[in-house]
């Protein structure tokens, strides 16, 4: 549905940015498997908060929101930041107020599903959570926590416990329209049981996604806390700038992260302005293949593509 929404936007004369907005917005309405939009990924207080960004590869303008509350259409608010402000990123309660002032309805993002995920987490001693080096021992107890003089090496953290394909995902889209305009965007409700205030990679330009109409675009999904340190979408676009094949550009962006975090969970999709595309993912026990969708104009439908992780 999200790809049909994006494609029909292009067919009715919309620009690439319009298609990215419509495609991601459809996912926010459909909740895309619970990982995008309202009612998913409750934080430590049971709230759902949203992160989104949109980038126009012609003007290099970006609009983004992080830790957005009460508003379902996060990509729409990101677009509004781009269209109606000189800023790039608005966050938290103030971003929600901005959205409401512009006419986005304030709604409750909780659902019975998000409430049951939250209650289950509480009943299992707040496991898993994202704390480290605190007391009481976060792998056994709920907070409130205080700093402890223990320094766990972050690389030894068991990432897959918290960050798996089942509880963390993002919609990322790259669109190239018939005039060669490139746009990219992302939308997510972030990481399950995140510490309130946590913002992942999705609304960070160059991390969640990146677009440049001279080159192409890229978008990422996975462990945003790790991936945002490497700006993999920016990196992939920069690799493609010199004519590198999109699949190879994606693979190289993944490899750079893996050098430091061998077991990180993540994937990148890449497309260049000639319409070639590819994807790559970091191979781990829980993820050996990555599925992504490509709209095929001649078949007039979305086709599922699969790559083997590297
Ligand atoms: C896009 O990728 C394809 C496949 O590697 C390549 O043949 C083409 O030259 C690339 N386009 C640009 C503009 O670099």
DSSP β-ladder status, 266-272 and 277-281: antiparallel
- Strands (DSSP E) contained in the chain are 50-56, 61-68, 89-91, 134-135, 146-147, 171-176, 182-188, 209-212, 216-222, 266-272, 277-281, 289-296, 301-308
**Nearest atom within ligand 1 for CA of residue 215:** 13
Global confidence as pTM: 0.94
The tens digit of pLDDT for each residue in 172-214 reads: 999 999 999 999 999 999 999 999 999 999 999 999 999 999 9
Q: Pick from 245, 249, 273, 277 the residue to mutate for probing ligand 1's pocket: most ligand atoms within 8 Å of its CB.
A: 245
Q: What average pLDDT does the segment 51-62 reach?
A: 98
Query: Could you tell me if the CB of 276 is within 6 A of ligand 1?
Result: yes
Q: What's the pLDDT at 146?
A: 96
CATH topology of domain 2-106+166-308: 3.60.20
Given a cut of 90, is residue 157 above it in pLDDT? no
How far is ligand 1, taken at its centre, from the CA of residue 302, in Å? 22
Q: What's the pLDDT at 30?
A: 87
Given a cut of 50, is residue 162 above it in pLDDT? no
User: Is 170 marked active-site?
Assistant: yes
Given a cut of 60, is residue 161 above it in pLDDT? no
Query: Could you tell me if the CB of 273 is within 6 A of ligand 1?
Result: yes
Task: Name which of 184, 16, 20 is nearest 5 in CA terms.
Answer: 20
Q: What's the pLDDT at 300?
A: 82
Residue 202 near residue 224 (C-beta atoms within 8 A) = yes
Residue 177 near residue 15 (C-beta atoms within 8 A) = yes
The Cβ of residue 223 has, within 10 Å, a number of other Cβ atoms equal to 24
Domain ranges of the chain: 2-106+166-308
Q: What's the pLDDT at 145?
A: 97
**Nearest atom within ligand 1 for CA of residue 273:** 13
Q: What's the pLDDT at 152?
A: 62
């Amino acid at each position: 549905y999200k790809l049909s929404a994006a494609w029909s936007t292009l067919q009715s004369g919309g620009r690439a940015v319009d298609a990215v907005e419509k495609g991601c917005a459809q996912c926010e309405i459909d909740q895309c498997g619970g990982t995008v939009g309202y009612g998913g990924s409750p934080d430590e207080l049971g709230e759902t908060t949203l992160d989104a960004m949109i980038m126009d590869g012609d003007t290099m303008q970006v609009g983004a929101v992080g830790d957005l509350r009460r508003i379902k259409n996060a990509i729409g608010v990101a677009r509004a930041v781009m269209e109606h402000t000189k800023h790039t990123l608005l966050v938290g309660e103030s971003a929600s107020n901005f959205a409401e002032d512009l006419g986005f309805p304030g709604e409750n993002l909780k659902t019975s599903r998000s409430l049951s995920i939250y209650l289950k987490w509480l009943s299992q001693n707040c496991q898993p959570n994202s704390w480290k080096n605190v007391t009481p021992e976060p792998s056994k107890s709920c907070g409130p926590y205080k700093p402890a003089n223990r320094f766990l090496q972050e690389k030894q953290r068991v990432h897959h416990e918290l960050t798996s394909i089942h509880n963390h995902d993002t919609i990322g889209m790259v669109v190239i329209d018939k005039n060669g305009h490139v746009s990219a965007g992302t939308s997510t409700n972030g990481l399950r049981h995140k510490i309130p205030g946590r913002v992942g990679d999705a609304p960070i330009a160059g991390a969640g996604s990146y677009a440049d109409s001279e080159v192409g675009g890229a978008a990422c999904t996975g462990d945003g806390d790790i991936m945002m340190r490497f700006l993999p979408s920016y990196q992939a676009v920069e690799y493609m700038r010199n004519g590198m094949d999109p699949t190879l550009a994606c693979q190289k962006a993944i490899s750079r992260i893996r050098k430091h975090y061998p077991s990180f969970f993540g994937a990148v999709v890449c497309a260049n302005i000639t319409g070639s595309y590819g994807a790559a993912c970091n191979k781990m026990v829980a993820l050996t293949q990555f599925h992504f969708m490509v709209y095929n104009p001649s078949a007039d439908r979305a086709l599922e593509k699969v790559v083997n992780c590297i």
